[in-house]
Structure 1
Amino acid sequence: MQIGTLGEPIDCLLQGTVDLAISVGEDLRDPRLEFDSLAPLSMAAVVGAGHALALIAKKGRVSTPELADHIQIVLMDASPRSHGRDYGVLSQRKWRVGSQEAKLALIRAGIGWGRLP
């Protein structure tokens, strides 16, 4: 089993290093491969309980400008498949990480917010 982000599963499948790949990037598809939907997936902006945005959220919905004022934890693609593209990035202040686990750890630590399934 291998774990990769964004375009990595598709690249591994094309390179023959895996027989099955699971990916969430609809626009990362490749015409040489067959795709099938496993389950609907929605993303939500999340933040650690001690983060300033959590206090704002207790009073009501957090606005896009409020999100953009804080560090956003963003998943980066180690493959060239999505080079130069960001997905759901609202903030100019962002930290890029290489795994969902690292992203979740930084969010839980109160470093910033991010979009997670």
Structure 2
Amino acid sequence: MTKHKIYTMSVASVYPHYVTKAEKKGRSKAEVDEIIRWLTGYSQEELGAQLEKQTNFEDFFAEAPQLNPSRNMIKGVVCGVRVGDIEEPTMQEIRYLDKLVDELAKGKAMEKILRK
């Protein structure tokens, strides 16, 4: 079975799109970074290093220091697929991130986005 194209894409190539999506709705790059850090456990410095070295999505999530145990509370649909129904672990992590950025762009409060 061939890997989905997103797995081999660098997080750095998609990251500006996350930031642009958030900023168009009056949110900030700092909030996007906070979401990514919450989901993955990377520090701001580690996140910057991952972006700088063009880490692909598969390695980005495989090397994540501490995937947040509360991420299973992320519900909803991304690209027509319910995130909780995605069986492939890496794809589910990518879709969790997509869903969190969507929630940010829709104006949801950070406390709710971060499942506090």
TM-score range, shorter chain: under 0.3
Question: Could you state the TM-score of these two structures normalised by the residue count of structure 2?
Answer: 0.26
Q: Between Structure 1 and Structure 2, whose CA radius of gyration is higher?
A: 1
Greater strand share, structure number: 1
| Bigger share in helix | 2
